[in-house]
Amino acid sequence: MLFRTLSVTAHFRHHFRFSSALLYPHHLGRSISSLRVVWRKDPKLDQAIDNDKRYKLSARVVREVLNEPGQVIPLQYLEKRRERLRLNVKVRTFLDQNPGLFDTYYDRIRPKSDLVQFLRPSARLRQFLEKERLINSHNEGLIVSKLCKLLMMSKDRVISTDKLVHVKREFGLPNDFLVDLVPRHPEYFRLVGSPGEGKSFLELISWNPEFAKSAIERQAEEESTMTGIRSRSNFNVKLPPGFFLKKEMREWVRDWLELDYISPYEDVSHLDQASPEMEKRMVGVFHELLSLSLLKRIPVPIIGKFTEDYRFSNAFSSTFTRHSGIFYMSLKGGIKTAMLREAYKDGELIDRDPLLEIKDRFVGLLEEGWGERAERVRAWKLEVEKNMEMMAIRGGEGEGDRDRINDGTGESEVLLQIEEGG
């Protein structure tokens, strides 16, 4: 919830225990680059990233197969790509751990070559892909608005298609948005050049005023409607428990919040890049980008690709720690990820994008397979336990199997033998 016009200073006084002194604009004269905030770990927000690791790994493998001609690939070829896919187990083990994604069959890579094992999408995966298509179709208006907004925030209303393709998963853009969705909306988009054949760009050719309202402005309008009191557009700032800002930084942030909100869709070519006003605008762009993203978080290196398009300073990443009440900078997995604090509660995403239904359905597909595997493992353990006494009579031969049951090793090997008829 956004602050009303008169509540911003009171809100900060509550969180930072400010005195009742008047605001001093001279604090804003300090160089932004000289203001430092110590990074503090937020375990709950880090956990939100951890929770998606297994889902993202499976999604990478699925995309790799779907991008192949005919959507089939020899298993041995996929095995050679493990490092690029960041797959830390053999492909056969991955298939055992995630049943239901692929079917396996034997074919020849070349005429007269030996038969080898191939992978292709399972019937369940194909059903999911059809549902994904329907969800994207149902939410086409939302997808179009996101793409327009990304272009509207850029300084020239045009962005390289390579950059847009690189961020499509962050914002929920369909894989084929350039060749399918864009041509259906000539009222908004013009494609310059051919994607994949040298430089190409997507250009915005008409401006929709409704799209030019940021998440901050829409929330202020909603609050005004509900309360009957005109609300001021500003950022929702809430520091995590135990977080502390030095007095100098508290004063700077307090005064900075009193500056007028600058929409990310406004022309700011007249602003000094090092001014507090430009900082306010840059924070507004970051807030809007994260609000448009599926998970309300984006890896910082991906944001950095748009430094020139969105007029970010070269040291833009420090903004996320300088405004720790608005953003969180996670370092999980050795990658800096900017997260929008207000979108999460106790590490759980509360501000959910409608396109997240696709992720939910894919996770459901994975969980169905995981449940089937767990049942097979339980059946295998039960069978071994039943034979334990008989094997013990034969001279303790069952001890090795008992150990393998207890420590969990050997399950994948046995399950693969069961599946392959071994």
Single-letter amino acid, residue 289: L
pLDDT for 25 equals 41
DSSP 3-state assignment of 348?
A: strand
257 neighbors 237 (Cβ within 8 angstroms): yes
Side-chain-side CA neighbours of 203 within 13 Å: the count stands at 8
376 contacts: CB under 8 Å, gap ≥ 6:
415, 418
Single-letter amino acid, residue 335: I
Q: What is the DSSP string of 247-270?
A: HHHHHHHHHHHTSPP--TTS--TT
pLDDT for 399 equals 55
pLDDT for 7 equals 37
Please indicate, yes or no, whether the overall pTM of this predicted structure exceeds 0.85. Answer: no
pLDDT for 263 equals 93
Among the listed residues 232, 239, 237, the one whose alpha carbon sits nearest the alpha carbon of residue 262: 232
DSSP 8-state symbol, 312: -
pLDDT for 23 equals 33
What is the pLDDT tens value at each position of the chain, 422 positions in all? 333 333 333 344 334 333 223 233 444 545 554 566 778 889 999 999 999 988 999 999 999 999 999 999 999 999 999 999 999 999 999 999 999 999 999 999 999 899 999 999 999 999 999 999 999 999 999 999 999 999 999 999 999 999 999 999 999 999 999 999 999 999 999 999 877 666 899 999 999 999 999 999 999 988 888 888 888 888 988 887 777 778 888 888 888 889 999 999 998 888 888 788 888 999 999 999 999 999 999 999 999 999 999 988 888 998 998 898 999 999 998 899 999 999 999 889 998 999 999 999 999 999 999 998 888 888 888 888 887 867 776 765 555 555 555 555 455 554 544 444 43
DSSP 8-state symbol, 176: T
275 neighbors 252 (Cβ within 8 angstroms): no
164 neighbors 397 (Cβ within 8 angstroms): no
Residues of the chain above pLDDT 70, percent? 83
- H/E segment holding residue 337: strand 337-340
pLDDT for 396 equals 54
Dihedrals phi, psi of 72, to nearest 5 degrees:
-135, 155
pLDDT for 159 equals 95
What length is written for the chain?
A: 422
Among the listed residues 322, 304, 184, the one whose alpha carbon sits nearest the alpha carbon of residue 246: 322
- Provide the H-helix boundaries in 210-246: 215-227
